[in-house]
């Protein structure tokens, strides 16, 4: 709950917009569109609940209630869920979910968060909620808590007294926000102008290079278990795709040349001792034209356990790496990105393949993609969104499909 309260009060990426009751507002090619809605004489509020990724996570003590305290560093990303709230005369909470097969009952985090605050605040009026899911389910991106935070944010604005009572019950201190403000203000990206790269910290380039040949093969997979952290941190090395992951998630904020310079640098200092590393390098390599290099990374990811690359298969399979292999196809060779509310593709084909295909579900729509030597084909297999169509770009060209429609392009 404290995490949710923090996201409500501090997170600038949870945005809300008020519109008069009786209208529903959307965006279509930059134009506002409106359709009729039930008018209860109150206000409708639209909010975006942005996803996050963990840059660092430590699990601390277990609390008496069975939950664990955690310490984490979070970074918001562009993908978000949309929530619309509107008061209604009927008591209780009505939830409708679009774009995902999720329960819309009292167990949903949106309903649970809203119900808790309404109960503690003795709120008798009801609320209707429409949740449009875009954040992947069970992906560790806090989709549920972001949605719950948006629900509480709405109630906080409409019923501030109830919010204050809930804050008192949970022991949340607003002084914590000043500390987080200070932390955010002091964060920065180191930049080395001569090389045009973003080093991992100020001293990274001053350290001596890592010599992998000096480390016995049987110890490489368990580096931090076999060597003291001070020994490791004195070397210029990265265990996995840390900075490169940022170039992938926020690729729209960098030029292709910037991504290429940083990729070339980190390729030389990254050890790939994490099973989640090679798939990310492969995705970024595709975006800068290193297609065959990306294929080699893909094969390492795909055969991680088959060839026991890290000498630790005896401890179990690398399940998350399997998802990374899927991402290497879709986000790497398929060039799929979802950034700033837009879906885009830039498919490429490695020499070893004749073709590949995949399906993605976006805003409730099922899109099929097939890439061959001759062409790329995009097919809208099923329409699930309100607009009954899907919009995306391929190599920067805008495409709009209705159900059953196809788009073909010969450039691969």
The structure tokens listed for 323 are 């998802």
Alpha helix stretches (DSSP H) within 159-202: 160-170, 175-186
Q: For residue range 36-67, list pLDDT tens digits in order.
A: 232 333 456 677 777 777 777 777 878 887 77
For residues 225 and 148, the model is more confident at 225
Q: For 126-153, how does the pLDDT look when each residue is reduced to its tens digit (9 = 90+)?
A: 777 788 887 776 666 766 666 666 666 6
Distance CA(118)–CA(112), nearest Å, equals: 10
Torsion sign across C-alpha atoms 58, 277, 262, 344: negative
Query: Which has the closest alpha carbon to 14: 2, 5, 26?
Result: 5
Beta bridge partners of 208: 235
What is the distance between the alpha carbons of residues 367 and 406, in angstroms, rounded to a whole number? Answer: 10
Q: What is the pLDDT of residue 178?
A: 73
**What value does the mean pLDDT of the chain take?**
79
Tally of CB atoms within 10 A around 253:
13
Task: Pick 99 or 263 by higher pLDDT.
Answer: 263
Name the band, by pLDDT with cuts 50, 70 and 90, for residue 352.
very high
Confidence of residue 159 (pLDDT cuts 50, 70, 90): low
SS3 203: coil
For residues 25 and 111, give the distance between their C-alpha atoms in angstroms, rounded to a whole number.
Answer: 23
Identify the pLDDT of residue 166: 67
Mean pLDDT of 76-95: 77
């Amino acid at each position: 709950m404290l995490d949710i309260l923090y996201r409500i009060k501090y997170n600038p990426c949870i945005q809300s917009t008020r519109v008069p009751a009786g209208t529903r507002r959307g965006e279509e090619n930059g134009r506002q569109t409106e359709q009729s809605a039930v008018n209860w004489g109150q206000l409708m509020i639209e909010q975006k609940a942005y996803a996050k990724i963990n840059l660092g996570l430590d699990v601390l003590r277990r609390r008496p209630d069975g939950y664990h305290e955690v310490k984490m560093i979070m970074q918001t990303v562009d993908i978000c869920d949309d929530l619309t709230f509107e008061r209604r005369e009927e008591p209780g909470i009505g939830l409708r979910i679009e774009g995902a097969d999720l329960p819309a009952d009292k167990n949903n985090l949106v309903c649970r968060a809203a119900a808790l605050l309404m109960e503690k605040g003795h709120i008798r009026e009801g609320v209707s909620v429409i949740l449009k899911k875009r954040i992947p389910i069970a992906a560790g991106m806090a989709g549920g808590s972001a949605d719950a935070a948006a629900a509480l944010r709405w109630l906080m604005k409409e019923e501030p007294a109830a919010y204050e009572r809930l804050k008192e019950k949970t022991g949340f201190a607003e002084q914590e926000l000043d500390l987080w403000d200070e932390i955010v203000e002091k964060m920065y990206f180191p930049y080395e102008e001569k090389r045009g790269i973003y080093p991992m910290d100020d001293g990274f380039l001053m350290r001596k290079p890592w010599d992998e040949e000096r480390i016995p093969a049987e110890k490489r997979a368990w580096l931090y278990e076999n060597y003291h952290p001070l020994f490791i941190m004195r070397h210029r090395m990265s265990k996995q795709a840390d900075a490169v992951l940022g170039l992938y998630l926020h690729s729209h904020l960098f030029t292709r040349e910037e991504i290429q310079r940083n990729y070339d640098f980190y390729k030389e200092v990254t050890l790939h001792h994490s099973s989640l590393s090679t798939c990310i390098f492969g995705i970024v390599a595709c975006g800068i034209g290193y297609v065959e290099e990306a294929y080699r990374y893909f094969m390492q990811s795909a055969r991680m356990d088959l060839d026991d690359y890290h000498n630790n298969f005896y401890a179990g399979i690398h399940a998350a790496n399997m998802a990374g292999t899927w991402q290497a196809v879709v986000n790497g060779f398929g060039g799929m990105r979802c950034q700033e509310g837009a879906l885009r593709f830039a498919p490429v084909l490695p020499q070893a393949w004749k073709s590949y295909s995949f399906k993605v579900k976006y805003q409730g729509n099922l899109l099929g993609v097939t890439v061959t030597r001759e062409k790329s084909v995009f097919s809208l297999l099923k329409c699930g969104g309100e607009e009954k169509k899907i919009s995306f770009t391929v190599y920067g060209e805008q495409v709009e499909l209705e159900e059953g429609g196809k788009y073909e392009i010969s450039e691969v």
